[in-house]
Amino acid sequence: MDISSLISRLPAPVRSGILAAVSRNDMLQHALSKLIINKYAYSAPVRPRPYCMAGDFPSWPGLTDRRFSGRHMPGVDDTEVAGRPDVEKLVHLFVRKEFRPATDTSLLFALFAQWFTDGFLRTKWEPEDTRTFRYNESNHEIDLCQIYGISEIQTTMLRAGKDGLLRSQMIGGAEWPAFLFERHEGKLRLDPRYDRQPEKDEDNPATPGLYTPQNFRRVYGKWPEEEREYAFAVGLEHGNSTFGHTVMNTLFLREHNRTARILKEAHPDWSDERLFQLARNTTIAVLLNIVVSDYIVHIAPIPIPLAIKPGMAERERWYRTNWIPVEFSLLYRWHDLIPDKLTIKGEDIEAERFRVANRWIVERGLDEVILAAAQERAGRIGLGNTAPFLVVDKKGPDVKRLSIAMDRACRLPSFNAYRKHYGLKPYSSFEALTRDPESAAKLEELYGDVDRVELFVGLFAEGYEAPAMMGELMVTMVANDAFTQALTNPLLAEAVHTEDAFGKEGLRIVKETKTLAQVIARNTAIGDPGRVSFELAPLPV
């Protein structure tokens, strides 16, 4: 039995005493954190992986060219994929007929999860008739490209050029990102500061603007003018696509600028470049702390507060170059978390309005939106709980058909094959997989044999009990990839994690910040972190 399970099974008073002791003792906390992190980090073979989307066998491009998505396992034969059930029958397994709430998870968690993962899960968009899912546009790092952009070209466009700040504006006395579009001769156009700038690189006349032309047209081409007026200039092209992206981008822009101002006050002689880079380092490290100490702890059954000790990962075999695998992108389709509505001061905002929502966010104010999201219960992850507009509306994202298409185009092995890959026992029946007779019967009718259930379907079909928030394989895969991708960040290297990289003030901010609620409290008028947690009071059993 591992340490997490052992502590979880202790009587509540004993467990509380242990947690209090752990929190007071840095050495004990770091030792237990290492045990738990390594449990997940070593659950699958470590990188470098022999396979990626470059081809069906190990090759030099497949081992070095990170334009291709990685993969944990080699692809299966085309005949196996061809024998899988009809997509339309599978899609309807996911459609919500009645909202099922999560046990203890707020909508705020769902907003953070989508925004956070969209920073590195960037499968390259391709037209449907030529879609391969082989390529990505990711930096393969947790680098806050959501507010800094994919490359230094984009970062420069987003900087204010003074005092280490990112471009921002004040609306109603609150700080927001700068607008992406401007009025020119009565017409709305892309602000020239974010347009293509070939003069910046005379040797490369194709220097991109803030976003590639293809991604810009794909995202903003059909936006009505009244919504484009409220689009913000942020690091990623889809950074205005949902209200969660806008909330988190605004919050972390404020955190960067808050840190830059603190550094400026303490070091008035520092250049804009130094102030910016150290504020950037600090804000990225703050995000890494949140991921390990708040986000993963909420997802996985981890009973103790985890702590990052700089340099701890450098001594492990899994300390390797990051490479985002295609399976990681696929498993993060947590659309079930989105409820049917969000209630703000008595007004119900229907889920269909969560997209392209900057106008109503600005009108209501960031504080009210965050408070409402923290008080709204998210949906339960699993079959039969995805809002219909995300599944069956042909004008919507059509997320489940796309996900199944991705699983099959990548020829991913079965769900049970992945359980074995992660050291878990494969299921021998549909009842054991789902823990639900109705779901088991539907899957058996479609697949016939539990070993034929494909990865994407199995991840959401796997049953679980409270306080878990997802199935065992999904928890293991999330924790494995998250720990081994986050803790290899260069800012957590022992030689880097010093005052030189953050400034004395920045290093203090990093050490003091463990939760998203802390970042919210100091960048809004909410004040009390206890009001804006990932967790809600558990539902009665």
Helix (H) or strand (E) segment spanning residue 217? helix 213-220
Confidence (pLDDT) at 1: 52
Residue 208: inside a domain: yes
Domain count along the chain: 1
* 539 domain-assigned: no
Q: In 3-state terms, what secondary structure has residue 198?
A: helix
User: How many Å apart are CA 492 and CA 289, to the nearest integer?
Assistant: 10
| Separation CA 338–CA 106 (nearest Å) | 10
**How much is the pLDDT for 186?**
86
Q: Which of 253, 163, 157, 248 is nearest to 196 (CA)?
A: 157
Distances (CA, A) of 532 to 106, 295, 372: 9, 13, 9
In a domain, 143, yes or no: yes
Residues 6+ apart with CB under 8 A from 366: 174, 247, 250, 251, 524
For residue 92, the domain's CATH number is 1.10.640.10
Phi, psi of 399 (to 5 degrees): -70, -30
Query: Is 123 a domain residue?
Result: yes
Tell me if 428 is assigned to some domain. Answer: yes
Q: Is residue 295 part of a domain?
A: yes
Domain that holds residue 62: 3-531
| Inside any domain, residue 540 | no
Q: What percentage of the chain has pLDDT greater than the value 70?
A: 93
477-481 LR contacts (CB < 8 Å, sep 24+): 477/44, 477/327, 477/328, 477/331, 477/418, 477/422, 478/296, 478/299, 478/300, 478/331, 478/332, 479/40, 479/43, 479/296, 479/299, 479/300, 480/40, 480/41, 480/43, 480/44, 480/422, 481/324, 481/325, 481/328
> Which residue type sits at 319?
Y
- Give domain status of residue 155, yes or no: yes
Query: C-alpha angle with apex 47: 43 to 51, nearest 5 degrees?
Result: 105
Give the residue among 361, 377, 358 at the shortest CA–CA distance from 524: 361
Q: How far apart are the first and last CA of the chain?
A: 26
Residue 342 host element (H or E)? strand 341-344
- The Cα–Cα gap between 480 and 271 comes to 40
Backbone angles phi, psi at 255, to 5 degrees: -65, -40
Residue 154 φ/ψ, nearest 5 degrees = -70, -40
Structure tokens at 435: 């823990």
Provide the residue-wise pLDDT of the chain in tens; the chain has 541 residues: 565 666 666 565 655 666 667 667 788 888 888 999 999 999 999 999 999 999 999 999 999 999 999 999 999 999 999 999 999 999 999 999 999 999 999 999 999 999 999 999 999 999 888 899 999 999 999 999 999 999 999 999 999 999 999 999 999 999 999 999 999 988 999 999 999 754 555 555 455 799 998 899 999 998 999 999 999 999 999 999 999 999 999 999 999 999 999 999 999 999 999 999 999 999 999 999 999 999 999 998 787 778 888 999 999 999 999 999 999 999 999 999 999 999 999 999 999 999 999 999 999 999 999 999 999 999 999 999 999 988 866 555 689 999 999 999 999 999 999 999 999 999 999 999 999 999 999 999 999 999 999 999 999 999 999 889 999 999 999 999 999 999 999 999 999 999 999 999 999 999 999 999 999 999 999 989 999 999 998 887 6
Tell me the residue length of the chain.
541
